[in-house]
Amino acid sequence: MNYPDSVHFLYSLGNEIKTAKLGLDRVALVLDALGRPEERTRFVHVAGTNGKGSTCAMIEAALRGAGQRTGLFTSPHLAEPTERIRIAGEPVTAERFAALFDRVHAAVEGLIAGGALETHTTYFETVTAMAMVAFAEAACEMVVLEVGLGGRLDATNVVHPELSVITPVDFDHEAWLGRSLEAIAGEKAGILKPGAPAVMARQRPEAAGVIEGRAAQLGVPFTRVADWRIADVALSAYDSRFRLSGEREYAIECPLAGEHQVENAATAAVALDRLGLSRAEIERGIAAARWPGRLERICERPEIVVDGAHNPAGARALAAHLDRFYRDRDVTLIFGAMRDKAIDEIGGVLFPRARRVILTAPRQARAAAPEAVRGVVEHPDATVAASLTEALALLGEPAPRDAIFITGSLYLVAEARALVPAIIGATR
């Protein structure tokens, strides 16, 4: 198939969360049929609720800066599925993505014909297998692998990593992972493997106890980021600096905005320390990291920031950022979310921080209708717009100190990153 056809087929498999099939048997069968490509490279495996992508981006940037040929597997994508599979810092080409799909699809069809599989692998299972083939054939020395959903039964958990990393655990996807923080932490801790050391970010006590218990049960060498000291933190609206002290000391410059990125950068630094990188390699690598769509300023005048705050923990992080740096600014919030998200909780955290709220919907079938959102979360100045284009038109002529935040869904963020520069450029 060509690239558009391969993407269309993947989308036809259904939403990757709604149609998720937790378990390793299916993807393991496909990888066996492909010659077990996952056994031909090394992995850093990263699970958690929030901060996974940012932490992965920082780890990969440092490994690449240290001279290693890297792979990076993340989800979801912002604009194109090719973004999920990166080699040496670059997404695979559309042609390569289509070729990888053909390889995996043929293997799946063969397994179905032989009776080993009843149905096609899911979107996420298929792309995971494609990534494993890509990394093996590109001779990647180290792959940073982000868990898709949970950990224990996630398709990525077929690997035996050099290092496991667990970022902060919070509530999300409770229907799949459990209704308690302990249950969710147990799923995340499922990536721990005997003989593979692990790094754990600061956690709530309920989650920490479960993860530490699982590590002790497996005899996993374990490092707590909480045992390292973070000091001299200097935050701006766009980046941060701090000193990290443990067995060694690092001066970290994190180019990603948000106070929560201090924890993510500290986790990445401790992970890189455990992988044996030098102080200079760690400091330079983290400073070079890029992770779009998360507190990313995409326009300066007017100031427009996009952020994929799609769950309560993400909303709290964005709210803390607004409280710290935008308390004296007139904030307009353009908000759109998926129906299966905790819209009442997310909106309850974010809407009080805004002078004005414009409710819209990403161009997705699962998007919540803006009228429905207004019925769930109240705001004294809430307006409905059918699309992001209409929402931007409602802004009028922003004052110099106005700030516009576009958030609630990564789908909406992706639209904004493509649309805003074109609209703003056309009106100047």
Q: What is the pLDDT of residues 73-131, one digit of tens each?
A: 999 899 899 999 999 999 999 999 999 999 999 999 999 999 999 999 999 999 999 99
Domain total in the chain = 2
Residues 380 and 320 in one domain: yes
Q: What is the pLDDT of residues 364-400, one digit of tens each?
A: 888 999 999 999 999 999 999 999 999 999 998 888 8
pLDDT value at 70 more than 60: yes
Domain of 30, CATH number, reads: 3.40.1190.10
Q: Model-level pTM?
A: 0.91
Instruction: Determine the Cα–Cα distance for residues 414 and 80; give it in Å rounded to an integer.
Output: 9
Residues 322 and 258 in one domain: no
Range of the domain at 239: 3-287
Residues 328 and 371 in one domain: yes
Of 287, 305, 333, at which residue does a domain stop? Answer: 287
Q: Tell me which range, 16-20, 41-45, 147-151, is most confidently predicted by mean pLDDT.
A: 41-45
Q: Which amino acid is at 247?
A: E
Domain of 366, CATH number, reads: 3.90.190.20
